A and B are shown apart, each in its own frame.
Chain A
Amino acid sequence: MKRAITLSEKDNVAVALEEILEGEDVEVTIGGEKIILKALNNIPFGHKISLRRIRRGEKIIKYGEPIGEAVTDIEQGEHVHVHNIKSIFV
């Protein structure tokens, strides 16, 4: 079982605490509850994994704050990065 961390219970992404490979199970604690996701892609250490389905245009929340918005639909367990989100402010 691989592990990822959330930084606020409002977050819809978690951060990989180790290298996660496609198909592996990932344990995440959010708001005191443990959930298990299946990684849909390889997720390097420090990169983000989606906790749930995120629709195109929806905000990506980390630290309880928006860090960008989805430019495509993102599935639960998908790698979340520059290929599927963009800045809101720049």
Chain B
Amino acid sequence: MEFMGFLRENGEVGVRNYVAVIPTVGCVNEAVEAIAGRVPGLKPLLHHQGCCMIPSDIEVVERTLIGLGSNPNVAAAIIIGLGCESVSIDRVADGIAREGKPVEALILQEAGGFSKVVAKGVEAARRCLEYAERFRRQAFDLSHLMIGIKCGSSDATSGIVSNPAVGLVADKIIDAGGTVIFGEVTEIIGAEHILVKRAESQAVANQIIKAVDDLENRIRSLGIDVRGSNPTPGNIRGGLSTLEEKSLGAVVKIGRRPINGVLDYGERPRGKGLYMMISPGREMEFLTGPVAGGAQLLIFTTGKGAPQGYPIAPVIKVCGNPDTVKRLSEHIDVDVSGVISGNETLEEAAEKIFEKLIKVASGEKTRAEILGYDKTMNIYVRGMIL
């Protein structure tokens, strides 16, 4: 099995061929939007972080921006800074350049304001787009793929249809030598004992326990008891009896292979296989994590119909709810509701998802890409805003 991708100079393979425009700080989003508005074909990565944050969060933002600019789907990147922000535009630009990519960095305060930085950005964009033109799709095996997996706007069908089917796809990608990243640590609380049993080593097991404990302690310090308040009354009405049942329904989407490592948010895996990334459940922050880690594609299961894509990586929506696939068909890429109606097995559903994955990796557009529902993103912040 092969897909058609773009070979980058560092040997990685993209499934899209984008020029990204990346603000170091939310203060220059207008300039980034204006550049992207004037030159068709650019991908702005508008976020709201980059300054007035605790040092460890600034480090996360820098690592994440470097990761996004280095993602194999990005051919070249333009970084726009303000000039006084905490994030270092030099570190971000150098980090991306180290991956062998053309990077242009512009600073609004040095350029002489909005109009001038936008004019320079437009020129830089033309150079970057010209560079991106050289790439053509070629055939690659699946070991070049890195996939992020997430569920959102879940319902009773998620845990019994779309998540188990995607779990079978995750196994298939890993067996083919590829990489899968999951996260959403909030959803793991209650199922950590199962993930721990699957850790490749004691060190990885300890990291999983620590990631869950750290999050739970932070939540508890705010006076909230996750274990006592889950499953929620809505979950119980839907048939979930215990927290471990709810969490298992979420983690079943990562399949059954050993967990090879725990990554910090936005960190790149050092090998192939299955990785857990410290990340929240909220869509706009979660999706950024695996993409900054190098994932070219995301598989996203939904029950009620989550619409979002991601600016630089296709997001494949998988849904097992027969009502949602009818009413929200413009948002659903793979309909696996046949498992509910008795027309298909989980294995057949997994095969459909896998086929769609190969097509999308080779250039077929997802529903979110067709709708242009793919602009919102953000970066996970753990400390306070100062």
Contacts and interface: CB of A to CB of B under 8 A. Distances in A.
B216 interface: no
Interface string A12-39: 0001111000000000000000000000
Q: Is the interface of B mostly helix, strand, loop or mixed?
A: helix
B48 interface: no
A85 interface: yes
Interface residues of A, number: 28
B113 interface: no
B228 A62 contact: no
Interface residues of B, number: 24
A16 B160 CA distance: 10
B160 A15 contact: yes
Contacts of B245: 62, 67-68
Contacts of A73: none
A73 B109 CA distance: 73
B339 interface: yes
A67 B248 contact: yes
B25 to A, nearest CB: 42
Interface in B175-218: 190, 193-194
B239 interface: yes
B55 to A, nearest CB: 36
B241 A68 contact: yes
B4 to A, nearest CB: 34
Given A46-B160, A62-B248, A63-B252, A80 B190 contact: no
B242 A86 contact: yes
A10 interface: no
Interface in B231-254: 236, 238-239, 241-245, 248-249, 252
Nearest to A27: B342
B239 A90 contact: no
Interface of B: 156-157, 160, 164, 190, 193-194, 227-228, 236, 238-239, 241-245, 248-249, 252, 339-340, 342, 346
